[in-house]
Amino acid sequence: MKKFLKSGTMILLLGSLLAGCSSKNELAKNTPLTEKQPPAETTKSSELVVEKGTPEWDLQQITKAVDDNDKALFMSYQNEENVTFFKEQRRWMDEVEFKKRQGYTVSVKLYSFHQENDAIATVRFSVMMSHPKLGSTTNTVAYQMIKSGDRWILNDVPFEKMVSDSGHLTVYYPKGQETAANQTFKDATDIVDFYSKKFNWKPQPISIKIYPTSNEVSATVPWLALGGWNEIGESLKITTALSNTIFRFLAHELTHKMVGEMANDNATIYFQEGFASYLEGTVVRDSSGQVTYEPKLAQEKAAKAMEASNSVKTIAELGTIDYTDPEGSMYRDGFLISNYLIETKGLPTFMKMLGYLSKFDYIDQRSEHKMDTCQIRTLEAIDSTYGPVDKVSAEVQNFYVKGSGQ
């Protein structure tokens, strides 16, 4: 997957080891929630009976769809004409089902329905998630609802937008976030231009949605705690809560977008997160404000990571790790492996490996949902580019653990 994860141990680990390589580390899971909390649960015996055709009925049906993993019912309450949002909501429901299989409990509550007129309303959409190892959160976002026939359906956050002259970049933002939107627009434009020239990336149209808090980003995915998010076929999402890190957030998430397009979304999550963390730490603005590439910054961060923990997981081990890993190995160890390959074999060779993955068919799923297939394909790409995978893993161990890379 492609996001800034920020839960518990991972925050402390990545914040200290990578010193900012992943802006998912910026907001910890235990940060006090400032969102308005949903009303307390009521028992079934005390629930009010609501009539079909009322807003209360529609909100109840959405809640029921999530409880029952009823994707068809859930999607019938999304605005199909809002194409990107509709696909993101389909992915949202896929994620709920996937999370439940991973041991999460997930439920939603819709409340504070406010009807503006006969056709438009707003509603608070709260997502309650918990995991036995990763903790629990309640994340809330305010969605617009529109009247469609005899029912009220969800229609995304009521965003404003700014669009580039070419129409290639669109930034969606809530009212009151104009300053952050302008900064996001400028940073994204500059980073995309830099990546396009340096990596010969020919980007598809880019949609960026910004939210004032990480809670809102997390509710729209859904995830325990996020600062940023990107998956092929979805909008790139970031929080503006830490405005001085927007450039880093975008450098990370736009790396995911670039890698996804160049590899036909077949790269494993440890290379996605590893390379995104690498570029997040090495692509910076210089003293004149120009975007530049500083690989020495990655070497310094790798040294700090090894000072804190003198070990690196093998490529085979990383292929079995998903985002429930409390150590955040796909970030830390993925970064270390990416840094090794780039520092010793060269950046062009690393990009050649990613390009090798484009020969495989695209699978229309989020990355974590197709881990096994992506691992098989990535192993083939490594073998074709660098030689036997076990040999590459041994070289990484020698480079870091024996001290030559520090």
Who's near 289: CB < 8 A, 6+ residues apart?
none
The amino acid that residue 177 corresponds to is Q
Among 93-102, 323-332, 341-350, the least confident range? 323-332
pLDDT in tens, 185-203: 999 999 999 999 999 999 9
pLDDT band with cut points at 50, 70 and 90 for residue 23: very low
Pick from 276, 257, 245: which is nearest to 183 by CA?
A: 245
Same domain, 280 and 322: yes
What confidence score (pLDDT) does residue 323 get? 86
pLDDT in tens, 118-135: 999 999 999 999 999 899
pLDDT in tens, 212-249: 999 999 999 999 999 899 999 999 999 988 778 899 99
State which of 127, 154, 181 marks the end of a domain: 154
State which of 126, 154, 182 marks the end of a domain: 154
Pick from 225, 57, 222, 210: which is nearest to 127 by CA?
A: 222
Same domain, 78 and 200: no
Prior bond of 38 cis (ω within 30°): no
pLDDT band with cut points at 50, 70 and 90 for residue 298: very high
Report the share of the chain in percent with pLDDT over 70.
Answer: 87
Same domain, 268 and 147: no
Is 106 within the bounds of a domain? yes
What confidence score (pLDDT) does residue 249 get? 92
Same domain, 180 and 299: yes
User: SS in 3 state form for the chain?
Assistant: CCEEECCHHHHHHHHHHCCCCCHHHHCCCCCCCCCCCCCCCCCHHHCCCCCCCCHHHHHHHHHHHHHCCCHHHHHCCECCCCHHHHHHHHHHHHHHHHHHHCCCEEEEEEEEEEECCCCEEEEEEEEEEEECCCEEEEEEEEEEEEEECCEEEECCCCCEEEECCCCCEEEEECCCCHHHHHHHHHHHHHHHHHHHHHHCCCCCCEEEEEECCHHHHHHCCCCCCEEEECCCCCCEEEECCCHHHHHHHHHHHHHHHHHHHHCCCCCCHHHHHHHHHHHHHHEEECCCCCEEECCHHHHHHHHHHHHHCCCCCCHHHHCCCCCCCCCCHHHHHHHHHHHHHHHHHCHHHHHHHHHHHHHCCCCCCCHHHHHHHHHHHHHHHHHHHHCCHHHHHHHHHHHHHCCCCC
Average pLDDT, the chain: 89
Which residues span the domain enclosing 363? Answer: 3-27+167-401
Same domain, 198 and 138: no
CA distance linking residue 406 with residue 392, whole number of Å: 18
pLDDT band with cut points at 50, 70 and 90 for residue 405: low
Position 29 pLDDT exceeds 70: no
What confidence score (pLDDT) does residue 325 get? 86
CATH number at residue 106: 3.10.450.100
Same domain, 56 and 145: yes
In the chain the first and final C-alpha atoms are separated, in Å, by 29
Same domain, 150 and 171: no
What confidence score (pLDDT) does residue 333 get? 96
Position 100 pLDDT exceeds 90: yes
Same domain, 52 and 96: yes
Total number of domains constituting the chain? 2
CATH number at residue 275: 1.10.390.10
CA distance linking residue 346 with residue 353, whole number of Å: 11
Same domain, 189 and 76: no
Is 32 within the bounds of a domain? no
